Amino acid sequence: MEFRQLGNSNLKVSTIIFGAWAIGGWMWGGAEEKDSIEAIHASIAGGATAIDTAAVYGYGRSEEIVGKAIKGKRAQVQLLTKYGLRWDSTEGEHFFDWSDENGEKNIYRNARKQSIILECENSLRRLQTDYIDLYQCHWRDSSTALEETMEAMNQLIKEGKIRAAGVSNFTAEDIERANKICAVASDQPPFSMVLREIEKDVLPYCAAHNIGVIVYSPLQRGLLTGKFKADAKFKEGDHRSNEAHFQPENIKRTNAFLAKIKPIADAHSATLAQLVIAWTIAQPGITAAIVGARDAAQISDNLGAQKVSLSKDELTTIAEHLKSLELVPVV
């Protein structure tokens, strides 16, 4: 597994990062703890030792599962988690409401210093560790000055509770402001073959200022595996049922595109998912890609992307096919 430096920090992460959103069950229609722990163990054994989670995933459950899974393995892993989305407080900026088997939760963006300090202690407890490698602001809280948020990061770094500070879903302008107060090691934005807005300004800014970019949803939440049909049905509580990319016409158009690039995957004896992950990591300015998994079998498939080394001609061919892919906007 290749490891890459995260911006100006002293932290290196595996280019494929285990994404622990789904194992929290939240928005994914549930998850089995035993399968989740086995998936994390398989990821570590396969060299993808960086694990990305967040306090809000499963309202703490994802972090708790990660904590159980890394017991006795802490020195082998890089722990990445996120703060700033509170379901247990109404301070800050209302984000959205969510109902599932846990009842109705009101989610607030809260990046106030006092809240961050409390969240860090809670995450350390759930993760069963005394430090977090990369602590990231999950979403910008416009009701709180960035100066206050990043001052909390400086304090946590000085106290040794976190090794580096990161942000997630930030604009280039907000990254610049934050970086003046506390060194920003990385940004974590969404990015995939069918969602490439960060190429306009976030990627160029981060590249110019040596800030790492860890992208999430490179498989567009499973769409780019080619396993979905236009009439796909989702379990109750699965957020994808209302997601624009999973509307029938967009599934059809995406599958037509995937059929065009499948010969490249076949040439590498790879799955479409492995090809897409390899393409993502090969994009200029991208440090690593977060890829979720619910069990060890999915980890094995994800890690197979390591064997796919794409040539310039193959990357050009994929780029040409992407130009002709037009998805239908869903209002």
The residues carrying an active-site annotation are 57
Residues 6+ apart with CB under 8 A from 157: 163, 164, 165, 182
As a whole number of angstroms, the distance between CA 127 and CA 263 comes to 42
CB count within 10 Å of CB 238 equals 18
Distances (CA, A) of 132 to 2, 124, 127, 160: 21, 7, 9, 9
Q: At 278, which amino acid appears?
A: A
Is 231 buried (19+), middle (13-18) or exposed (0-12) by CB count in 10 A? exposed
- Location of structure tokens 């892919």: 325
